[in-house]
Amino acid sequence: MSINVTRSSMPDFDEYCREIRGLWDSHWLTNMGEKHIEFEAELRKYLGVDFLNLFTNGHLALEEVIASFGFPKGGEVITTPFTFVSTTHAIVRNGLTPVFCDIDPCDFTIDDTKIEALITDRTVAILPVHVYGNLCHIEEIAGIAARHPGNAAAFSKAAGVPKEVYDGDIRVIYDAAHTFGVRRREMSAEEETLWRSACDYGDAAILSFHATKVFNTIEGGAAVSHDSRRREVLDDLKNFGIRDPETCAWIGGNAKMSEFQAAMGICNLRHIDAEIAKRKAVYEHYAERLKEADAAGMLHLWRPQTDVMPNYAYLPVIFENNTGSGMDITAAESDNKGRVRDRVWEALKAEGITARKYFWPLTSDLQCYAYLRKDADGGSDTPTARDIAGRVLTLPVYADLSPEDVDRICGIILDTLQGHF
């Protein structure tokens, strides 16, 4: 029996039918109808945020969030190459230039110790990615941005951008697509424990509700910001820039969430905590089966961060190479089929099991971004990202993955590793 890397969580069929029944009466299928309004309100409550906009998908949420800041064309955005290509595309489609920063080898998020050296007088934003549900180094990144107020002011003025649109400060925009339901422990002024949503940091953040995610609205996404003005601008931008029947304030696109998507979100939100609990059980079974290989250094299994409530969205495994670390490999050499990760991937594929080399290749190695490369090997500035990309495999994980299937997957992995170590 085949096993996919993920499987969409869905409500009971009758539950969804009850949720959409009223649409046949109203015939209101899109354009911020009753279900859209209800879902948005429930989502704000669940996430504990005040300003949230729904979008038809997470990518357009990110594009429009970037657009909402009014950055000058040609501005630079420091980001990670260890991400899904959507992150980089959203930057470039806004007329901006991605500047790739290496990653932390422990949590795979952007390496905050290397960001500051990449800042120039054209730097307008830092766009970190919370990877696999691992949170970035939030305080450190905020501190870097704060140390460079008005950094691109002269550049933006030369580009003709009014100060009231963009003042030159470095903004922090989080791609939080992997973090629905993830919360970080904080302490209140009264020394009480608070659990703050992962999407509530930076100047803005986006979430993805794609069918492959922990929480889905079939397709969908959201933007989280911190003031009513940006929320208004984002609502404009996702609706062709139209604010009212006689006002078109911006040059926007069409990124509105439909009523059917919102109805799916309402249903799935009722069950999300139970779904995450099931995913946790799947993760714990994997951890038990693979602990000896982990202890022996054959592989390194993902573990939740301290003071973070995880969502178990992904299960990345970093395989050790029996020929040593991949730190010195080039982009072409990272496709060497003799490497351990690739042999495990092939063994699983032969048994109808889909695992993903996620993220490989790096976005900086993709053909469409060849123009950004400084060196022939296309990635010498991000050696840790290159190394991890060449050794990572995300294993199947979803709420109803059975213990027997986990045993089958782990058996194949362990049998394959025995032939290499």
Helix, coil or strand: residue 202: coil
Let me know if the fold of 13-264 is the same as that of 272-418.
no
The domain made up of 272-418 is a member of CATH 3.90.1150.10: yes
Burial class (CB within 10 angstroms; exposed 0-12, middle 13-18, buried 19+) of 14? exposed
Q: Which CATH number fits domain 13-264: 3.40.640.10, 3.40.50.740, 3.40.50.10190, 3.90.1150.10?
A: 3.40.640.10
CA gap 115, 128 in Å, rounded: 10
The pLDDT value recorded for residue 388 is 97
CA gap 384, 231 in Å, rounded: 37
Rg of the Cα trace of the chain?
A: 22
CA gap 210, 202 in Å, rounded: 23
Residue type at position 84? F
Work out the number of other CB atoms within 10 angstroms of the CB of residue 46.
15
The pLDDT value recorded for residue 322 is 58
Residue whose entry in the numeric block shows the structure tokens 């495999």: 393
- Residues pairing with 301 in the sheet: 317
The contacts of residue 16 (CB under 8 Å, 6+ apart) are 10, 263, 264, 267
Burial class (CB within 10 angstroms; exposed 0-12, middle 13-18, buried 19+) of 106? exposed
CA gap 228, 256 in Å, rounded: 18
The pLDDT value recorded for residue 409 is 98
| CA count, 13 A, side-chain hemisphere, 325 | 9
The residue extents of the domains of the chain are 13-264, 272-418
Mean pLDDT by 10 residues, the chain (421 residues): 93 98 96 97 98 98 98 97 98 98 98 98 98 98 97 93 92 98 91 94 98 97 97 96 91 96 98 98 98 96 97 97 50 55 97 97 96 65 96 97 98 91 60
CA gap 354, 165 in Å, rounded: 46
Q: Cα 16–18–20 angle (5° rounding)?
A: 70
The pLDDT value recorded for residue 336 is 46
| CA count, 13 A, side-chain hemisphere, 375 | 9
Helix (H) / strand (E) containing 175: strand 171-175
